[in-house]
A and B are shown apart, each in its own frame.
Chain A
Amino acid sequence: MALNRKIAYIDLSSGKVETKPISMEMRKKYLGGRGLDAYLLYNNTKAGVDPLGPDNVCLVSAGILVGTLASATARTHIAGKSPLTGYFGSTNMGGFFAPEMRWAGFDHLVIRGKAEKPVYLWIHNGEIEIRDAKDIWGKGVRDTQSIIREEMGDREIKVMTIGIAGENLVRYANVMTEIKNSGGRTGMGALLGSKNLKAIAVRGTLDIKIEHPVEALEYNKQIISQITSAKVSQEQGRLGTLFIWGATNSQGLVRTRNFQLNQMEDSDGIEPETFEDSAFGMTGCFGCQVHCRAKYIIPDGDYKGTYDEGPEYTSIGAFAAEPGCTDLTTILTGNHLVNDYGMDTLEIGSMIAWAMELYEKGILTDKDTDGLDLSFGNEKAVIEMIHRIAHREGLGDILAEGPLRAAEKIGKDSIRYQVHVKGMSNLHSDERPTPALALGIATASRGSDHLRSRPAIDLYHLPEAVLRQIYSQPVAYEGPLTSDYTDYEGKSWQVFWQEMCYMAVDCLGICKYHTIFLGPNFPNFEEWSKLLYYNTGLELTPLEIWTIAERTNDLERMFNLREGLARSDDWLVDAYFDEPTKLGIPLIRDRVIDRDKFKQMIDEFYAFHGWDEQGKLKPETLKRLGLDKEPSHLL
């Protein structure tokens, strides 16, 4: 059955490997994936643990529906204390790794210690070996995977790996799989690097027994139809996330030149339609029908002719809007380099743009940059800085430390120009006109982030009747809801609801593009309850899944509180409140976030959670969610 996959404890210092079953009690409390990882992290680390030290754990997991007959169940989750923020570190990627790990018999890996020399893990049908990584250490993401497959003589092996950035402990290094599936955000690649763990290779042929296969297949047909018939999916399947660029930028919702502007002018050369000339089809992850990943060849420059996949919408921000570049080749090359070095596209784009503003203001000089002209718009400088950061050369060594440490090293009021929450850079969207989106990034458990609670559909201007239908189940809600994205009313509930929605799918292992993140009629708690039952036999009502999401979100909060998080960390940099937007359509111009209204939103958000005014769990909340005895060490 789908619930008999095990948990493996791997100590890289001693070389000891121990496997254990996962009890039904724990499944019902945390499901799997990110949910059970929250439990494992809270129970296997102590407060103040060094994120890059041997006592931090690296958790790798598959959601409870991964590898079953449910669509888009491809997600791998990686967690640990973040080397970037010092808080909850967590990242999630598509591809084919997690299904293969389940077919190899495992749902969760708990990796601690540090290997004496570089190693990789080889996992196959219930067995785990620690192997010498001398042939792959120092290699890029693609070469590493090729070498392992060649060495083992099996092209079906799936590999998650770090690139050179992870080896060099760049604090926003990714974990990667395939060409571009990225576990970005919070520096989980650096965590693997700190353990001398280059990669994990898996191959499995152990069947997952589906509890009700006929019903699971039939029901999944409905889900596929529900998703693929929507216009938003079809557009994603034509160009990927790029398709939203034009409309978003035209409105003025794009953070540009390190938040100095909110719209990129002169962007004709990077419109999605231009990209179509370099792209030649789409590809996708395990069990997905949307296929949102473009395949392309770099058309020009030093990497002309190189194949890669993507780029995501975020890479336009990272390598165009933020550094003020207008050449598509820069975006495609930058995307290729971060994929192969294994670095977070979003974080590195923000760090380079920040350095460019410091250069513009004279805080950084040619002496600091070793003669590199870091002016906004210098396309070559962007590519050069990607290399320097990955290799930690010169200024790149400082920027590799992430927002707060880099600002401390540079000094001279440079922190004033950082755009971050909890030490993690903001996405390149500009949230000053959109209070709901601003609340989401301010309160997300892993620092500034759009995939933890963003009510993305708030931007759609959906009929209020549609919003009411979505946001009133599985928990009743009769408060205000408005389709005006500049409004503050009712938005805290939407953010809270989306936080539960995304946590639920992260526990199940389903891609967010198959949820209400993307389409208002997409699957929801009701559908997940049925998918869970047909595929695993586990009977949970929509409300029970919601409660699991509440529990696991709160456990992430407890981890952060234990690490010293305070209410003041759920906040935005001053520019959000003090510097109005300058460009865009009339609705967007001259917008700031209203401090008092934002405080009120946070109060409401805390109240929905059952937290006190300081953002701590109230005793009754701890008891209601069964968290009052944590850490309980039941696994």
Chain B
Amino acid sequence: MSVKVNIAPFLTHLTADHELVEVNGGTVGQCLDGLVEEYPGIREWLFAKNGKLNNVIEIYVNAESSYPDELTKPVNDGDELQIVIMIVGG
């Protein structure tokens, strides 16, 4: 499956300034693995040390949250992923 990943502006310095990266994979996890393979620097933002998605990161698939499936959520050809970061509070 060919999937587009919409890179958040705060991460584009890790993707050679690309805002949209095309990757292949059948699940969100496989797509992110592809992204990390191409741009290894993005790993520490996306993943915790235990290999799970970072606790402040959510991945949206076609404008809908992939939580709770997250990395195992299937994706289809032409889907668009978006990296969302939950930094809020006070």
Contacts and interface: CB of A to CB of B under 8 A. Distances in A.
A476 interface: no
A461 B8 contact: yes
Contacts of A485: 9
30 contacts: A229-B67, A230-B67, A231-B55, A232-B88, A235-B55, A236-B89, A241-B89, A241-B90, A243-B56, A244-B56, A244-B87, A247-B54, A247-B56, A253-B87, A313-B90, A450-B90, A451-B90, A454-B90, A459-B87, A460-B86, A460-B88, A461-B8, A461-B10, A461-B83, A461-B84, A463-B6, A463-B82, A466-B60, A483-B8, A587-B12
A517 B88 contact: yes
B10 A251 contact: yes
Find the residue from B9, B58, B83, B89 having the highest chain A CB count within 10 A. Answer: B89
Contacts of A229: 67-68
Interface string B67-84: 110000000000000111
A456 B9 CA distance: 17
Nearest to B90: A450
A313 B89 CA distance: 7
Given A235-B55, A460-B87, A465-B63, 14 more contacts: A230-B65, A231-B67, A243-B55, A244-B89, A459-B88, A460-B84, A461-B8, A462-B84, A463-B82, A466-B60, A484-B9, A586-B13, A587-B12, A587-B13
Nearest to A468: B63
A427 interface: yes
Given A466-B63, A586-B13, A235 B56 contact: yes
B60 A247 contact: no
B23 interface: no
A170 interface: no
Number of chain B interface residues as a range: 20 to 34
Contacts of A461: 8-10, 82-85
Find the residue from A463, A517, A521 having the highest chain B CB count within 10 A. Answer: A463
Nearest to A433: B10
A258 B60 CA distance: 36
B87 A248 contact: yes
Contacts of B65: 230-231, 521
A71 interface: no
A312 interface: yes
B88 A312 contact: no
B85 A247 contact: yes
Nearest to A253: B87
Contact of B89 (A238, A312, A460, A588): A312
A585 B87 contact: no
B63 A486 contact: no
A314 B56 CA distance: 17
Given A247-B87, A314-B90, A461-B82, A585 B63 contact: no
